[in-house]
Structure 1
Amino acid sequence: MASFVYFRKVAETGDSVEYVFGFDTDEPPRRLLVDVKSHRSRPMDGEIDYAFLKASRKINALREEASRWPDQGTSIS
């Protein structure tokens, strides 16, 4: 079974980057916050699940590749 998680940056400050993310556009988007210094992320609703982990890992991988926080993206597996 394939899975598809999208994410899009909605805010960036000197301390954090905020993204909306989800499985598809039919579901209400969720939000995650990434600490700029530690690169640690947390779901703003407190629910650590597959979608959160998949989005968080892809965001950090793209950050490492480009040396900047990605504006948007997807993780497909």
Structure 2
Amino acid sequence: MAILVDFELIRQDSREVEYSFGFPEKDRRLVIQKDSRQGTPLDGAEDMQYRKAFGKILRMQAEAATWPAGGSYAA
């Protein structure tokens, strides 16, 4: 089973970041609390697309020490 999910930073403030994500459309949203690094899908569905996008965003942020502007997960 293949999975592809794109994500894009849409909002950031001192406490949280918000991303749109999905494939082929980025029609879902997730919010990450900067201090705790906890994520919440705004539609409540913690499915594979959410988990893969959230994990990739956290890995990229840890490597670069900045929240990524966008990216993709493919497997």
Give TM-score scaled by structure 1 length.
0.92
What is the letter of the counterpart of residue 35 of structure 1?
Q
Aligned counterparts of 1:59 and 1:10: Cα–Cα separation in 2: 13
Aligned counterparts of 1:42 and 1:76: Cα–Cα separation in 2: 21
Residues matched between the structures, number: 75
Identity of aligned pairs, percent? 36
Unaligned stretches of 5+ residues in structure 1 = none
Of 30, 47, 71, which aligns to 1:73? 71
State the match for 2:45 in structure 1: 47
Give TM-score scaled by structure 2 length.
0.95
State the match for 1:38 in structure 2: 36
Aligned counterparts of 2:54 and 2:32: Cα–Cα separation in 1: 8
Tell me the C-alpha RMSD between the 2 structures. 1.0
